[in-house]
Structure 1
Amino acid sequence: MFGISALGWVHTLGSLPAIPAAAYMFAIHGRIIPRSKAGAVYFVSMLIGGATTVLVAHAPVSYGIGAATLLLLVTGYAIGRLPAPGRAAIYVETIALSLTAFLLMVPTATEILRRVPDGHPLVTDLHSPLLLGVQASILAALVIGLTAQIIYLRKTGKAAV
């Protein structure tokens, strides 16, 4: 179904829980919270997705996306656990994990549009206006979201000082 191999299904179903986990955390907390139940689900799902990318990817750029996702994921989850990471840690954590969500959503949206409906996908060309519009919308959400997150962190950080 949808031209996805068995390994492709492992990749897809393994990384799929990261989407509602991220959506939940963005809606409730305004950012991904690593030390929470949803954060644990997000971490494991993203780890599965990023690690299996090298096994299912067909385009060379996919390897870069998978590696960048894993690097940002580990950075975002590890920075808060370092001894005396300083005030910048919350910014690094927030930016790194928001970028992982972006790197999850761009290929996800692209693959959905290129595979659904089965046999007659909405997009057959990577330069399709629909695909480019969806990708631009995801980029705009990243820029607006990161800006809002940083402003919020600065405001709450000043209030705490």
Structure 2
Amino acid sequence: MGLTGLGIFHTVIGVIAIVAAIVSFIRFGKIDLKHLTGKIYFYFTAITSLTALGISKMGGFNPGHILSLVILLLIGTAYLLSLKKPGKNGSRYVENFLLSFSFFLSMLPTVNETLTRIPVGHPLAKDITDPLIGKTLFVILLLFIGGSVYQVFKQRSVNRS
């Protein structure tokens, strides 16, 4: 599949981060940095984003590197917000949104790389302009929007109790 050692490490760590986020969404309705799955997502996403800075198909600094830096900023800010005193404050909403948004942004290169590489030799998508990639990302966008609305309603109901 044309991956370097760094690329393989990056991919494995990234997959673990995605699985941890999905498990956290299922168990808690959000990526919760106070639980193991949230911590795994946070640290493994940080490692994935940092290792992405050393990977480049196009050579040099590119939009993928910018995306990695944005994701690092999002999860870093969410982490700082998670340190605030728990309770009925707006920082929990922002923290949840930032973590969910970082997950959504992580899915952009994940979908592209997966669909243009798998199955080996006969990938599902030709390149980033393939309609399958666009349709898949649209579905993920809808899930992100729906999940974000769900998180707000769920958090409001928890804050009322």
Same fold, judged at TM 0.5 (above): yes
Number of matched pairs: 158
Q: Deviations over 1:64-112 (max 9, x none)?
A: 1101110011111111213689701101110000011112222111101
User: Structure 2 CA distance, aligned partners of 1:80 and 1:23?
Assistant: 19
User: Structure 2 CA distance, aligned partners of 1:53 and 1:85?
Assistant: 35
Is 1:78 matched up with 2:83? no
- For the 8 Å contact 1:65–1:103, the answer to whether it is kept is yes
Equivalent residues in 2 for 1:22-41, closer than 5 Å:
22-41=21-40
Deviation at 1:37, TM superposition (A): 1.1
Matching residue of 1:120: 122
Equivalent residues in 2 for 1:32-111, closer than 5 Å:
32-58=31-57, 60-82=62-84, 87-111=89-113
Distance change (3 Å), C-alpha of 1:52 and 1:74: same
Q: Name whichever structure is richer in helix by fraction.
A: 1
User: Structure 1 CA distance, aligned partners of 2:53 and 2:135?
Assistant: 27
Letter of the 2:145 partner, please give it.
Answer: V
User: Structure 2 CA distance, aligned partners of 1:83 and 1:36?
Assistant: 16
User: Structure 2 CA distance, aligned partners of 1:57 and 1:147?
Assistant: 35
User: Structure 1 CA distance, aligned partners of 2:71 and 2:87?
Assistant: 22
What is the TM-score with the length of structure 2 in the denominator? 0.91
Deviation at 1:125, TM superposition (A): 2.5
Task: State the 4+ residue runs in structure 1 displaced beyond 3 angstroms.
Answer: 82-86
- Gaps spanning 5+ residues in structure 1: where? none
Matching residue of 2:136: 134
Letter of the 2:45 partner, please give it.
Answer: M
Structure 2 residue matching 1:16: 3-state secondary structure: helix
Deviation at 1:13, TM superposition (A): 1.2
